[in-house]
Amino acid sequence: MKVVVLFSGGIDSTVVLRLMEQHERLPLAFDYQQPHSIELERAGMICHEQGLLLNVMKLPKMPKINDVVFAGRNAVFLSLAAGFALENGAEKVVIGCNASDHERFPDCRPRFIESMNRALHAAYGVNVEAPLLMSDKRQIVSMADRLGIDLRATWSCYQPTDEGRPCGECLACQVRKDAGAPESRDW
């Protein structure tokens, strides 16, 4: 089976990419002019290490609701990913939303994922799955350990320093630290 994996080069999508390894994987990332565009470079490198080619779709700059939430982001991502799946003969789209996102990101909650799955399945026959939806970040970090994934290769920071290092202070850096994940290494 072919699956489209929404891939940002972060901890969650890197674990999801591994969980899907028994399938033919089509990793897909979005360039939405995010300030942390370094994540796209990392995503490309992680895919390259696994012999996969990262597909990147360019999008206009997205409106923000607050410091961290882009309006409509996952609705747009999943809809485009479903189209990409159809175009490439894939049956499902997999996303790394998890329990640590539920509070701050409305488009990572179970109700949203279920609704998108229903809508995209009804219209296009493409399923949406979020295998980490009920796991929190700490559980995902342990899962990565068990799977032998080197999390130092992944990137989380929203506001990298001029030298291209994690800032250590943004929400993504804090969540990463609190979950006991190692720091991102230089590449």
Gap between the Cα atoms of 48 and 120, Å rounded:
29
Q: In this chain, which stretch among 21-29, 63-71, 81-89, 165-173 interacts with Zn ion, using CB under 5 A?
A: 165-173
Helices in the chain by DSSP H: which ranges? Answer: 11-19, 38-49, 73-88, 110-124, 137-147, 171-178
Which residue of 63, 115, 167, 185 would you call a contact of Zn ion, by CB under 5 A?
Answer: 167
Burial zone of 186 (CB within 10 Å; 0-12 exposed, 13-18 middle, 19+ buried):
exposed
Q: Which tokens sit at 93? A: 């789209």
C-alpha count within 13 angstroms, C-beta hemisphere, residue 97: 26
- Between 59 and 171, CB nearer to Zn ion: 171
81 binds Zn ion (CB under 5 A): no
173 binds Zn ion (CB under 5 A): yes
Burial zone of 139 (CB within 10 Å; 0-12 exposed, 13-18 middle, 19+ buried):
middle
Burial zone of 49 (CB within 10 Å; 0-12 exposed, 13-18 middle, 19+ buried):
exposed
Of 74, 63, 37, the residue nearest 159 (C-alpha)? 37
Q: In this chain, which stretch among 28-36, 67-75, 146-154, 160-168 interacts with Zn ion, using CB under 5 A?
A: 160-168
**Minimum distance, C-beta of residue 169 to Zn ion, in the bound complex (Å):** 6
134 binds Zn ion (CB under 5 A): no
149 binds Zn ion (CB under 5 A): no
Q: Which tokens sit at 168? A: 């250590």
- Between 151 and 170, CB nearer to Zn ion: 170
140 binds Zn ion (CB under 5 A): no
Which residue of 94, 157, 175, 179 would you call a contact of Zn ion, by CB under 5 A?
Answer: 157
179 binds Zn ion (CB under 5 A): no
Which residue of 52, 170, 175, 181 would you call a contact of Zn ion, by CB under 5 A?
Answer: 170
68 binds Zn ion (CB under 5 A): no
Interface residues toward Zn ion, by CB under 5 A: 157, 166-167, 170, 173
